[in-house]
Structure 1
């Protein structure tokens, strides 16, 4: 958009000013002597004749390579700056800096090729439009006409004064040529984004009957030929908590993001209350499914407004109630203006505190289906406890689906689903799966080493894998 801005906001006015005065001058000079006027236009015609050389396919490819190289430099800078804490902690400054230097060297090579391709043409245009060259052409043509008796010496004066100004339109186009090309390429990228089709909305939406969730033969892949989910069949009953666990890259996040319909499955269907998600109105779906992300985004607004994001009409009493449930109420009261404190201006929250704000937001929304996408992956103990309270406290008939990074979080789940390589390999209650001593038990051992006494933790699940036949 910043590349398109000059073409829309500045180019029209600049081009009008660049064309009007020369056009009036040209009409006047034609009335003085049309022959010398044509001679005066020789530099302009020469410069215009060189313009197509700047739009050859090779020049356009070099422009695209230039844009791409600039993008790589920008990306390497952002990655380096954002990764400074990791770089300092693990001593990877040399490698991180080399990535930027590589991008910079690549840019120098691309820029050099581009300059070599356009420098001769650009120099020729600048020479043709320069005042000394224009005056030389006018003087030469005027001298021929004067010596032949075709005009008087006084008649040459208007051409010497106004002739250099006739090059202004071409000079303006020349100086704006880079902006024009950048705007053209940017418009193409914007058009490509706008041409991406949104998920289709149903012409005649249906209403879900209840909030039982079913995944029927679901398959999905971000790229053709590579499926992330392969034949998922799963039922989430109202009033239950279902936890999805599995190694990184198994498709956990992809699976849960099908519920708020961030994308549609390539095969199969996701059903809510007996209706395919593709048959539901988008607003109805978002009122039914609430989402807590791993990465929380808070608005530059008051704490109360951040919590009431999904329910702007909520009163302060309701906001305080869910803040207590999320164990963030006391921290909010310690802020400069309590619930009226503007985040990002008057106060900053830690990652765990922001996560608890997100949990309070989801609780206030009161959606009958709650999805927690690794909400405790980087959480502090209080945030993890808040999430566990959400999972263990009775919530009526709410359907809860949670991705668990810390397996202790799923101890209170009704059903645990183990996902590997896009396929469900195990499902059952936590104690049942531990007793099987299968994939879930192996994950449990890798995440939670056994304690010497083999006693149970406060979550009710033994810190050791039970022997066969032994209950939790």
Structure 2
């Protein structure tokens, strides 16, 4: 076990807030999650209420068999001849009660299951609509796993809550209520016996859950630290093994695991003992002992009949099961509330503003007018200023390259053109029209982009290329693929252009890049944003990509994010960024012969080039 001093020392090195800050945060988060859950369930709330009413009727019918047992006992054990007609009447009433219970309970679940199907459809349509309105930059900052979690896992988390929890909780509350009413009708002393062990269980349960929100927050924080150390170790495992630091790299995980074990044991150990005691209060032997023992005493005193003790005891035995159902529903509600909070956070994301009176660009001239942009910060960090008063003009049929050190704002500026985000100040113009005033479908008819991080969808290769122009015929798709130097590779596939990406066909990074270029060629957008496609290409693909890119750029207004200076020596204009500001502009010959940032970058580039890089430097992108 870890000592208090060791635990304090480890805690100082953790990024998470100290435990004393957990309680208010956890409570506020729980309140937000509950509010989020209420808002998401609003479309089906009426149907859930109807289902609960149906379940109340079913619960009332549940008591009929118990009444029948008591009345049948009285009839059969009474003095004199047995009234056969009364016996059959009781049997038919019990049968009707069982049938009513099955019918109304099944009908209630049918209503909630249909409500669940409708709610999932509503939420998935909302998610799809929301994703279609988010800035493209959000997708570059968000993993596909997060999107999949929202659309599949988080929506699925609501299933039990909608389809089962409320109905089962209603049954768990209404069934014992009606049963206990009957017990008190039989005799008030039998009613008290039936619930004699429940107060002890309630006290123990209340003690167990009093700090559950805070403790679960602490456990989640500890698990997050463990996960973080695992990811950190796995991502750097090759470096760790190379330098023989495996033991040291494991230490962060071991420390996090030890702390979690200590906290978990300290919380769960006493709670398990209380839970065992509380469950004892609901155990069938103890319930039988209390009810039969007390009932026997009442029978001996002449207060009640034996058959009444039997009926009340059977009722008492169903109470533990109903309480356990309530506990399960509470757990389901917590899980669903957390999922609902994540969905509401997705729905609350700022959307891409779309003009209600869109305009059409007149020409393909691109202008950046005093553009400033900052990435939003969070509670722990201020916003990051990426661009500051950047102005530039891209003329039709020219190539403009963006260069600069890492973090200078090259990618940020380029992605403002296809509206991955909107500038905080200034404007990005196409053909004299602010991109914010252009309808998205019109914008992407004018602007195409080829990025390094190529995404292929799980559809046919032809449809992946057709994303650039969905109505294009197969001949046009093949022509674009041929121009992008990927046609031969596609024809080698067993199903050719009908092969499903990542199922029937697995493409290398360079091949996927050429499919992306074919997509851009097919769209035939007059303005192109190009994140230098060959920066990380393998040698076999580099020449083919370079040739395809050169064909793609012909006659277009091109903005290139340059990673290797050798590929943009023939650009019509080079914009040098540093710290989010334009520090130099000009052509390669002018800038390389000066004494500014570009000249120093060029000298550094030449000092590290290979023979092949020198050949590329001699050709440039304009070819």
Quickly name the TM-score band, shorter chain normalised.
0.7 to 0.9
Could you tell me whether the CA contact under 8 Å between 2:372 and 2:387 is conserved in 1? yes
1:275 pairs with 2:433: yes
- Deviation for aligned residue 1:232: 1.1
Write the mapping of 1:33-44 to structure 2, written as runs, cut at 5 A: 33-44=187-198
Query: 2:537 is matched with which residue?
Result: 379
Distance 2:257 2:519 in 1: 44
- Deviation for aligned residue 1:396: 5.8
Could you tell me whether the CA contact under 8 Å between 1:62 and 1:113 is conserved in 2? no
- Deviation for aligned residue 1:118: 4.5
Unmatched segments (≥5 aa) in structure 2 = 1-153
Distance 1:305 1:87 in 2: 42
1:259 pairs with 2:420: no
Write the mapping of 1:186-335 to structure 2, written as runs, cut at 5 A: 186-222=339-375, 223=377, 224-335=382-493
Aligned residues: 460
Query: 2:311 is matched with which residue?
Result: 158
1:348 pairs with 2:506: yes
- Deviation for aligned residue 1:357: 0.9
- Deviation for aligned residue 1:393: 4.4
SS at match of 1:190: helix
- Which of 384, 406, 431 is 2:589 aligned to? 431
Distance 1:418 1:14 in 2: 66
1:416 pairs with 2:574: yes
Query: 1:185 is matched with which residue?
Result: 338
Query: 2:289 is matched with which residue?
Result: 136
- Deviation for aligned residue 1:131: 1.9
- Deviation for aligned residue 1:10: 4.0
- Deviation for aligned residue 1:431: 2.1
Could you tell me whether the CA contact under 8 Å between 2:208 and 2:271 is conserved in 1? yes
TM-score under structure 1 normalisation? Answer: 0.86
- Deviation for aligned residue 1:103: 4.5
Task: Mark the CA change 1:416 to 1:116 in structure 2 (over 3 Å): closer, same or farther.
Answer: farther
Query: 1:11 is matched with which residue?
Result: 165
- Deviation for aligned residue 1:227: 0.7
Task: Mark the CA change 1:285 to 1:89 in structure 2 (over 3 Å): closer, same or farther.
Answer: farther
Task: Mark the CA change 1:284 to 1:87 in structure 2 (over 3 Å): closer, same or farther.
Answer: farther
Which sits farther off after the overlay, 403-412 or 136-145? 136-145
Task: Mark the CA change 1:452 to 1:134 in structure 2 (over 3 Å): closer, same or farther.
Answer: closer
- Deviation for aligned residue 1:342: 1.8
Distance 2:394 2:455 in 1: 28
Distance 2:346 2:270 in 1: 31
Could you tell me whether the CA contact under 8 Å between 2:528 and 2:559 is conserved in 1? yes
SS at match of 1:371: strand
Task: Mark the CA change 1:410 to 1:201 in structure 2 (over 3 Å): closer, same or farther.
Answer: same
Distance 1:325 1:86 in 2: 41
- Deviation for aligned residue 1:73: 4.1
Task: Mark the CA change 1:394 to 1:295 in structure 2 (over 3 Å): closer, same or farther.
Answer: closer
RMSD: 3.2
SS at match of 2:214: helix
Task: Mark the CA change 1:243 to 1:117 in structure 2 (over 3 Å): closer, same or farther.
Answer: farther
Task: Mark the CA change 1:105 to 1:237 in structure 2 (over 3 Å): closer, same or farther.
Answer: farther
Could you tell me whether the CA contact under 8 Å between 1:289 and 1:370 is conserved in 2? yes
SS at match of 2:315: helix
SS at match of 1:405: coil
Could you tell me whether the CA contact under 8 Å between 1:25 and 1:166 is conserved in 2? no
- Deviation for aligned residue 1:67: 2.9
- Deviation for aligned residue 1:164: 1.5
SS at match of 2:512: helix
SS at match of 1:412: coil
Distance 2:565 2:544 in 1: 15
Deviations 1:118-169 (A, max 9, x none): 4465345423322233223323542443343211334212223331212222
Deviations 1:40-89 (A, max 9, x none): 12333443455555554x43122223234334444555565566666666
Could you tell me whether the CA contact under 8 Å between 1:289 and 1:367 is conserved in 2? yes
Query: 2:120 is matched with which residue?
Result: none
Task: Mark the CA change 1:54 to 1:239 in structure 2 (over 3 Å): closer, same or farther.
Answer: farther
Could you tell me whether the CA contact under 8 Å between 1:26 and 1:166 is conserved in 2? no
SS at match of 2:319: helix
Distance 1:357 1:88 in 2: 37
SS at match of 2:416: coil
- Deviation for aligned residue 1:354: 0.9
Distance 2:249 2:450 in 1: 32
Distance 2:361 2:444 in 1: 12
Task: Mark the CA change 1:377 to 1:394 in structure 2 (over 3 Å): closer, same or farther.
Answer: closer
Distance 2:474 2:577 in 1: 41
Deviations 1:247-269 (A, max 9, x none): 22222222212112122222222
